[in-house]
Amino acid sequence: MFDRLSTPEEIFSYKLGAALTMEKDTLAMLGDLQESARRPELKQLLAEHAEETRQQIQVVEQCFALLGEEVDDSPCPVTKALAAEAEATLKKTDDSLVDAVILAGALETEYHEQAVYETLLLHARARGAAPVVALLETNLGVERTAGAKVKAMAEQIAVSGIAVPTEGLSGGAKAGIAAGVAATVGAAAAAASKLGERKAEGEAKAAAAESLDRERVAGTAPATGAHAPETARAEEFNDDALQERIAETEHRDQH
């Protein structure tokens, strides 16, 4: 193990050794989590990634061989802290919820491992170590795939309602929960519909008022109420008077 890092090469080797320790810690953690998991599909997922992790350990060791360096065992405090946190949380978690806790810890670990390999790749490319780059890219791809699987299962469990365990409830109790959820959803939908109707009514009134204002400005809107112009009624009176005079003239002409 390095006492002091004096060159970029030493930094890379130190971080590569930390990655090796990280994978070994992860392998041990996966075994513990697999024993605690309740769902068969989660146990299977953890077992598959444990096998992948064994291969990743060999890949990191090959990187040291390509560099012509002895395998280093630099410490990796992060994975040890993640494992300790997962263990402490599981101890105080109800049995029906342990899978959600396991997946949360696994996802956090996967993201950390991805960041470690991305950093190593930056240094490996800078050194021009193409064979090492190829190996590290393989490990990074494994971590990304594993992270996607863990995230998908975590989302599935969250949607299925892991936080509301119904195991052991009677049929009537389960039906009551379902009815309560349905009623809540129905009430929310009704409220949203009523709000939409009020909004549409308000928009229609606003549009009508705006149209009337435009007509008044253009002089085409009919006048209403006490403010109606007097010219319209004057024109009506004048028309009636004219018709009466025409009728009188025709009557005199006939006699």
Per-residue three-class SS string for 139-152 = HHHHHHHHHHHHHH
The predicted-structure confidence for 178-235, as pLDDT tens digits, reads as follows: 444 444 344 444 544 555 555 556 665 666 566 556 656 556 545 444 444 444 444 4
**Cα–Cα distance, 126 to 128 (Å, whole number):** 5
With 0-12 CB in 10 A as exposed, 13-18 as middle and 19+ as buried, what is 27?
middle
Domains annotated on the chain, with CATH: 8-166 (1.20.1260.10)
pLDDT digits (tens, 9 = 90+) for 131-154: 999 999 999 999 999 999 999 999
pLDDT at 160: 74
CB 70 within 8 A of CB 64: yes
218/200 Cα distance (integer angstroms):
27
Of 47-51, 82-86, 177-181, 217-221, give the range with the top mean pLDDT: 47-51
Rg (CA), the chain: 40
Residue 248 predicted with pLDDT over 90 = no
61-68 long-range contacts, CB within 8 A, separation 24+: 61/20, 62/135, 63/16, 63/132, 63/135, 63/136, 64/13, 64/16, 66/129, 66/131, 66/132, 66/135, 67/13, 67/129, 67/132
Looking at residue 129, its amino acid is A
CA distance 177 to 186: 14
Contact residues for 46 (Cβ-Cβ < 8 A; gap 6+): 30, 33, 34, 37, 102, 106
Q: What gap in Å lies between CA 99 and CA 97, rounded to an integer?
A: 6
Q: Provide the 10 A C-beta neighbour count for residue 59.
A: 18
